[in-house]
Amino acid sequence: AGSDDAQMVRQQLRDADRLHHVHSFTDHSALQQNGGAFIAERGEGSMLVGEGNIRLLDAMAGLGCVNVGYGRKEMAQAAADAMQDLAYYHSFQATTNPHAAALAERIAKAAPGALNHVFFANSGSEANESILKLVRAYWRAKGQPNRQHIIARDYAYHGSTLFTTSLNGLPPMHEAFGLPLSGVSHIEAPYWYRQGGDLDPEAYGKKAARSLKDKITELGADQVAAFIAEPIQVTSGVIMPPESYWPEIVAICKQEGILLIADEVVTGFGRTGHWFAQNHYGIEADFMTLAKGLSSGYMPIAAAVISDKVAEMTLQQGGAFQHGFTTSGHPVACAVALKNLDIIVQEGLVERAAKMGAVLHSKLNTAIGDHPLVGEVRGMGLLAGIELVRDRKSRSHYPLELGLCSHVANAALMQGVIVRATGNSLVICPPFIITEAEIDVVVAALVAALEQIYGQLQAG
């Protein structure tokens, strides 16, 4: 009877959700037809548990954020302790709290180059939006208010607010909303596998970078404020820039005097096997965006990290910084983020991401690298993208409407493994505590899923 009761409660919750809960990036009519959403209830390590006893190996770490793994009691304790001491106080004007102060210092010390000033937000979108306002403030303070144009890239994802959506290089996110806003341009992404043509990665990386220079020339340098980019574009299938790309981009930004924003919302805090992807690529940006891995998703918190050069012009000239959120620097979120960083350091999780990442890539390449549906396996650290193709030689795709990647991801889910389908690629970015045995389970599920869907395609 106990289990019947539990089933009834779940059904009530599913109905409540179906009728009232608006989900992010979801086809709500399909959700209705499919009887509503899966109810996630618990997490342990790399495992997500829902609907009572369904155990799924979460090779996505939520949305690429639960880096220290699920179910960490010490994180819950840090939240409880901080909440009992001081559940809330703001950081407007001359007030702070111990956790916000300590976390700001900690981020500044870890961040590359002169990124020494930390503004707290609640999401990556808000952090980017905050940075974009500081970009405008910077150029006004420099006496160049015409510099307002922001250059972003095709395939980019920077958030879901009006301006950050405008920066996204994903047209379906624009269409329903009459976006992008004016003042945004997109340039080519460094997508060698798809756009490299006859060029080798090195030559193509330089060519893709030069599209930034061309765009600046077209717009007029005196109109351009900043270039925003993810060091590795994750949301669109882990687009890996050739090694020649970033040095060229950094040089162009310097030559043209435009600000560089490195959006490390996914890549920050160890995902690539480096503390920040900028460390690998030798980027010293004027701004860095952090979210997800800052608290491993245990609390909503994000950070806009600002360089000395920008801070001097915008924050240290007198006059108020007219921007902020009620919950910026929230004491509980900051305490949890500090505990998260303690765990990452104490358990050597950045080094572990590098080590287990090498294991993941090697096993993926061995098991599926030659599969007829697999065009390319790419990535760095515990971040992998698998591009699916119709024909390996011509690199052509099946039509997107066929939903090939979703079918493969669903088949993997039936095997008990969560991976993510995005466009023509699958993404894998598991928690850093994933074990080799769990990686074997992920790879085996992918092999089975690819075989199943390939079989169906062959059968017509």
Smallest separation, CB 160 to ligand PLP (Å): 6
Which residue has tokens 């003042």?
183
Smallest separation, CB 230 to ligand PLP (Å): 5
Choosing from 230, 248, 286, 387, the residue that interacts with ligand PLP (CB under 6 A) is 230
Asked if 125 is part of the footprint of ligand PLP (rule: CB under 6 A), the reply reads yes
Asked if 123 is part of the footprint of ligand PLP (rule: CB under 6 A), the reply reads yes
Smallest separation, CB 393 to ligand PLP (Å): 32
Choosing from 266, 285, 364, 408, the residue that interacts with ligand PLP (CB under 6 A) is 266
Number of residues that bind ligand PLP (CB under 6 A): 16
Identify the CA nearest to 377 among candidates 369, 444, 196: 369
The tokens describing 269, both together, are 């805090």
Smallest separation, CB 367 to ligand PLP (Å): 27
**b/e burial code for range 258-288 (CB count within 10 A of at least 16 → b):** bbbbbbbbbbbbbbbbbbbbbbbbebbbbbb
Q: Segment near ligand PLP (CB under 6 A), from 99-107, 227-235, 383-391, 428-436?
A: 227-235
Which of the residues 130 through 159 are near ligand PLP (CB under 6 A)?
Answer: 157-159
Identify the CA nearest to 454 among candidates 408, 400, 394, 392: 408
Which of the residues 166 through 205 are near ligand PLP (CB under 6 A)?
Answer: none
Smallest separation, CB 162 to ligand PLP (Å): 13
Which of the residues 29 through 88 are near ligand PLP (CB under 6 A)?
Answer: 63
Identify the CA nearest to 299 among candidates 459, 116, 450, 82: 82
In terms of CB distance, is 262 or 411 closer to ligand PLP? 262
Contact 290, 303 (CB under 8 A): yes
Identify the CA nearest to 118 among candidates 297, 337, 272: 337
Alpha helices in 168-200 (DSSP H): 172-175, 192-195
In terms of CB distance, is 266 or 374 closer to ligand PLP? 266
Identify the CA nearest to 267 among candidates 385, 150, 121: 385
Smallest separation, CB 373 to ligand PLP (Å): 26
* Cα–Cα distance, 13 to 20 (Å, whole number): 10
In terms of CB distance, is 98 or 300 closer to ligand PLP? 300
Q: Segment near ligand PLP (CB under 6 A), from 240-248, 258-266, 361-369, 391-399?
A: 258-266
User: What HEC string does 351-374 produce?
Assistant: HHHHHHHHHHHHHHHHHHCCCCCE
Asked if 425 is part of the footprint of ligand PLP (rule: CB under 6 A), the reply reads no
Asked if 235 is part of the footprint of ligand PLP (rule: CB under 6 A), the reply reads yes
Neighbours of 49 (CB within 10 A): 17
From first CA to last CA, the distance across the chain in angstroms is 46
Report CA-CA distances (Å) from 264 to 74, 228, 295, 300: 26, 11, 14, 16
Which of the residues 273 through 312 are near ligand PLP (CB under 6 A)?
Answer: 291, 302
Asked if 327 is part of the footprint of ligand PLP (rule: CB under 6 A), the reply reads no
Smallest separation, CB 121 to ligand PLP (Å): 9
In terms of CB distance, is 3 or 24 closer to ligand PLP? 24
In terms of CB distance, is 266 or 373 closer to ligand PLP? 266
Residues at the interface with ligand PLP (CB under 6 A):
63, 123-125, 128, 157-159, 230, 234-235, 263, 265-266, 291, 302
